[in-house]
């Protein structure tokens, strides 16, 4: 056998290797497509689980995100952040009296 000869060429084993490589390639492409789909549907599934109030908006942004990926990022942010809770915290901070803020800051300094 010389260095220039190709083993298994024009044999049944060669055909079997080609079939096996094709199956592995198609399986890999299918797995990648399925993984991409599951990651892309993450905002919708998370919003469903939390019974999010903006479910329609998150769904539309997720579908638009197939074309413009930055829109999908907005869908992820909306799905994972609770806007009502954030607004309540901002409202509470805004309405907190300045004396209470300085008292709590002084207590933190005393404990340190």
Whole-model pTM: value is 0.58
Q: What is the pLDDT of residue 82?
A: 78
Domain boundaries, the chain: 12-111
pLDDT 10s digits, 29-48: 999 999 999 999 999 999 99
**Residue numbers in the chain where pLDDT is lower than 70:** 1-9, 97-112
pLDDT at residue 13 in the model: 78
- The pLDDT value recorded for residue 1 is 47
**pLDDT given at position 61:** 92
- Using CA atoms, how far residue 110 sits from 37, 47, 102, in Å, is 53, 42, 12
pLDDT of residue 75: 92
Whether the Cβ atoms of residue 18 and residue 24 lie closer than 8 Å to each other:
no
């Amino acid at each position: 056998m010389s260095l220039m000869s190709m083993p298994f060429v024009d044999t049944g084993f060669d055909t079997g290797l080609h079939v096996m490589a094709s199956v592995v390639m198609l399986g890999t492409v299918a797995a990648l497509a399925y993984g991409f789909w599951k990651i892309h549907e993450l905002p919708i599934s998370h919003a469903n689980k939390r019974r999010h109030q903006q479910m329609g908006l998150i769904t539309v942004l997720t579908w638009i995100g197939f074309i413009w990926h930055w829109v999908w990022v907005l869908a992820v942010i909306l799905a994972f952040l609770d806007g009502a809770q954030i607004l309540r915290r901002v409202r509470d901070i805004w309405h907190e009296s300045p004396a209470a803020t300085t008292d709590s800051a002084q207590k933190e300094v005393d404990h340190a």
